[in-house]
Amino acid sequence: MNKPVAATLDTGIKLVRNVGSFNFGRGAIADLAGHVESRRVSAKSTGADERVIFVIDQFFKGRSDILARLPRRHDDVVLIVDTTNEPTTAGIDSLVAEVRAVGVSVPATIVGFGGGITLDTAKAIANLLTNPGSAADYQGWDLVKNPAVHKIGVPTISGTGAEATRTCVMTNKATGLKLGMNSDFTVFNHLVLDPDLTATVPRDQYFFTGMDAYIHCIEALAGSYRNAVGDAYSHETINLCQKVFLGDDMMSDQSREDLMVASYLGGSAIATSYVGVVHPFSAGLSVVLGIHHCVANCITMRAMEEFYPEAFTEFWTAVDRQGVVVPEGVARSLTDEQYKSLYDSTVVHSKPLTNALGEDYKNTLTFDKVVELFKMM
């Protein structure tokens, strides 16, 4: 690991909102039914709506073996989330409209079942059902006024930490703003962390997504803005990721359990720390070339040796060890205009870049330097 810089500054982040509770371990999905049922019973006792909204990753469309394990009733609402692209404010608004169209205003609970996009979508819907207006109105910090609908998260892939964070990332296509609803109300009430659910994830996707937790934490620990809580979560997340990705089999039962814990702790770390150089470059790849966040992080790692030398070595050792193929050359032969866009959408991230390189980070990340780094990817 990279040595922490000698003098650290305080992140200024002083308040942590935890997920209410969680079930964990192999087969934990069996406990979902009890949690959902107790919500229905409680709704019934007050004359409220007993129906439940299931927000399900399109990955499971047609996977009747998996879907049969969800405690659905005939009158529940099922929303399938298209994960081709990351969530948009308009997309969230239309899902909320779909819920209202069938006459549900406040369901007994919302169950998010899937990857980071699906979990974030469930969180956003839960906020909007109890708050007026549209998703774009709540992009920012602490803009959500009313407590959200009760919600349960069931991650089916590990790494993003979406199950633990107080945000739900989405892009407003009209303004180009990519920003979540950062709010205490965005945090899940309950999680079901069942590593058996990640057994069918394609290997490359499993690696890319899992490494999101690792990369965030190596960035956080190498930064200037730090605090003891974020550092502790980051250290343990990295320990677990090393165990999983430098071990023999990243998808063994034990590894999938460890990575699910790493993802949860990494998500807890996110709430109190800042990223560094990787995420801004990765964001550039996402915005300009439409590459998904987790694979974009891994592609970015090709150019990170000078910033994170130890993590660079460790990361590429893990790639070799797990036999994963990270896409290469995606930003090698682009137009001048595209490089200009890449530069702009990278250096705009002043907070993480200041965290990593200091306030004069643009002296390091000149236009030519940024282009050179993208060409290394």
Residue 5 in the binding site for a copy of itself (CB under 8 A): no
Contact stretch for a copy of itself (CB under 8 A) within 9-17, 84-92, 95-103, 132-140: 9-17
Q: What are phi and psi of 334, to 5 degrees?
A: -105, 170
**Who contacts 61 (Cβ-Cβ below 8 Å, separation ≥6)?**
80
Between the two ends of the chain, the Cα-to-Cα distance in Å is: 22
Site mask, a copy of itself, residues 181-200, x = CB under 8 A?
A: ---x----------------
Closer of 30 and 177 to a copy of itself (Cβ): 30
**Rounded to the nearest 10 degrees, how much is the dihedral formed by the CA atoms of 162, 29, 47, 100?**
50
**In whole angstroms, how close is the CB of 227 to a copy of itself at the nearest point?**
6
Closer of 22 and 245 to a copy of itself (Cβ): 22
Element (H, E) at 298: helix 293-300
Residue 120 in the binding site for a copy of itself (CB under 8 A): no
Q: Which two tokens stand for residue 280?
A: 């801004």
**In whole angstroms, how close is the CB of 77 to a copy of itself at the nearest point?**
27
**Buried b vs exposed e over 234-252: b needs ≥16 C-beta within 10 Å?**
bbbbbebbbebbeeeebbe
Q: What is the DSSP string of 218-260?
A: HHHHHSSEE-HHHHHHHHHHHHHHHHHHSSS-TTSHHHHHHHH
Site mask, a copy of itself, residues 214-253, x = CB under 8 A?
A: -------------xxx--xx-xx--xx-------------
**In whole angstroms, how close is the CB of 327 to a copy of itself at the nearest point?**
31
Nearest one of 45, 116, 51 to 86, comparing CA atoms: 116
Residue 24 in the binding site for a copy of itself (CB under 8 A): yes
**In whole angstroms, how close is the CB of 172 to a copy of itself at the nearest point?**
29
Site mask, a copy of itself, residues 265-304, x = CB under 8 A?
A: x---------------------------------------
Rounded distance between C-alpha atoms, residue 373 and residue 303, angstroms: 6
Closer of 271 and 298 to a copy of itself (Cβ): 271
Which of 257, 285, 287, 304 binds a copy of itself (CB under 8 A)? It is: 257
- How open is the CA angle 190-266-254, to the nearest 5 degrees? 80
Residue 258 in the binding site for a copy of itself (CB under 8 A): yes
Residue 23 in the binding site for a copy of itself (CB under 8 A): yes
Residue 261 in the binding site for a copy of itself (CB under 8 A): yes
Rounded distance between C-alpha atoms, residue 326 and residue 296, angstroms: 9
Nearest one of 267, 234, 224, 215 to 17, comparing CA atoms: 267
**In whole angstroms, how close is the CB of 153 to a copy of itself at the nearest point?**
13
**In whole angstroms, how close is the CB of 251 to a copy of itself at the nearest point?**
15
Number of residues located near a copy of itself, criterion CB under 8 A:
32
Rounded distance between C-alpha atoms, residue 135 and residue 46, angstroms: 29
**Residues 25-44 interacting with a copy of itself (rule: CB under 8 A):** 25, 28, 31
83 exposure class (CB count in 10 Å sphere: 0-12, 13-18, 19+):
middle
Strands 177-178 and 171-172: what pairing?
antiparallel
Amino acid residing at 362: K
**In whole angstroms, how close is the CB of 190 to a copy of itself at the nearest point?**
9
Contact stretch for a copy of itself (CB under 8 A) within 14-22, 102-110, 326-334, 342-350: 14-22
**In whole angstroms, how close is the CB of 36 to a copy of itself at the nearest point?**
15
Residues in contact with a copy of itself by CB under 8 A are 10, 14-25, 28, 31, 184, 227-229, 232-233, 235-236, 239-240, 254, 257-258, 260-262, 265
